[in-house]
Amino acid sequence: MRLEDVRRYRDETPGAAGVAHFDNAGAALPPAVVTDTVVGYLREEAVTGGYETAIAAADRIAAVYDSIARWLGAAADDIALTDSATRSWQAVFYAMRFEAGDRILTCRSEYAGNAIAYLQIARRTGAVIEVVGDDESGQLDVADLARRIDGRVKLISVNHVPTQGGLVNPAEEVGAIAEAAGIPFLLDACQSTGQLDLDVARLRCDALTGTGRKYVRGPRGTGFLYVHPRLRERLEPAMLDLRSAALTAPDTYEVAPTAKRFEAWERNFGLVLGLGAAVDYALAIGLPAIEARVTALAARLRSALREIDGVTVRDQGVRQCGIVTFSAEQLPAAEIKARLADAKINTSVSLRGSAQYDFTARALPPLVRASVHYYNTDEEIERLVAELTHILTRS
């Protein structure tokens, strides 16, 4: 990615002028076209009417499905739109049927929200949760996963990128094992979509979930879901309405044949179009170029952080991405975050409650999370490192 391109992307990102934003794994700064799309639609609703505006925008709304499908290497019928990555993930998980003794395999870096859902279903049904071990690099141990496969495994459900570090789990290898065994593979890609070049055929996942607010640079309140026909044909969602199904007679209904069976009728179409604008913006840049720059910037940041006395970089894995986590001997993570914020440098804090399996296994303290995006610069990295050094020196 050329520097002149980065300058243009920053010019097209109003927030980039006022803050060094290293919280892209939380919510990235949107380009102006995303905000303008959402606000423009809402203004049109205000003068034309909500239903009337939606009807007039029907082709634009349909194009969002096409854009996400092209982005993921899928068909438009395989895509559903929701209000969050969580809702997308729940739509698939809670449509599955488990019995006593059925096994759910997940990873040590799993999100707390997903782990809570596993526990709830385990308590309801008697299903068993098993956490696959990590290999020596800290990523999911593919050999351990393969050893656990038998006829009682009903789901393999892992995250692609965890919330608490730059690890990229070996999703393609997991997909190959799942496909060979005929076991559904649910991939939570909320942290990888928008920063990594994803292709569902290469990943061999049965379902993939994502959000708009993180690396996609879309609005909050948006999510999306990919579901392969081989899985969705077996699933009836836990909840249906007249978007996900049709009432064919007073006492019969038919579930939608496409991934729209996982949608709800009511939605914020302004946000939907904002999500589409964000996806189109990323497609115009190219995901391979985005991934290359994000990965390179994160590597530079990790290298610089390792030079600061008392700082420990906590990222693991053979492959690493744009999320950088660290702790410091001198100050707790929350205090570091607050002092960086005073200098107009945005970061976030990862806590044990967000990833109990991993924090407990590694005895991790709260971590500062600095997540880079392609519109960040080397100068911003230098500023973050200099400010952190100053903060720790004065503590």
Q: Taking 80 as the threshold, does the pLDDT of residue 395 lie above it?
A: no
At 13, is the secondary structure helix, strand, or coil? coil
Fold entry, domain 3-22+287-394 = Aspartate Aminotransferase, domain 1 (3.90.1150)
CA distance 171 to 98: 23
- Over residues 243-266, the mean pLDDT reads 97
When the candidates are 3.40.640.10, 3.90.226.10, 3.30.930.10, 3.40.190.80, the CATH number that belongs to 34-284 is 3.40.640.10
Cβ neighbours for 287, distance < 8 A, ≥ 6 positions apart? 71, 196, 197, 198
Residues 287 and 278 sit within 8 Å (Cβ to Cβ): no
pLDDT at 88: 98
Q: Which residue has the tokens 């799942």?
A: 178
Specify the amino acid at residue 287: L
Please give the model's pTM, rounded to 2 decimal places: 0.97
Q: Taking 80 as the threshold, does the pLDDT of residue 173 lie above it?
A: yes
Domain locations in the chain as residue ranges: 3-22+287-394, 34-284
Query: Mind listing the pLDDT tens digit for each residue in 319-329?
Result: 999 999 999 99
Cβ density class 52-69: b for 16+ within 10 Å, e for less: ebbeebeeebebbbebbb
- Over residues 6-32, the mean pLDDT reads 98
Residues 261 and 245 sit within 8 Å (Cβ to Cβ): yes
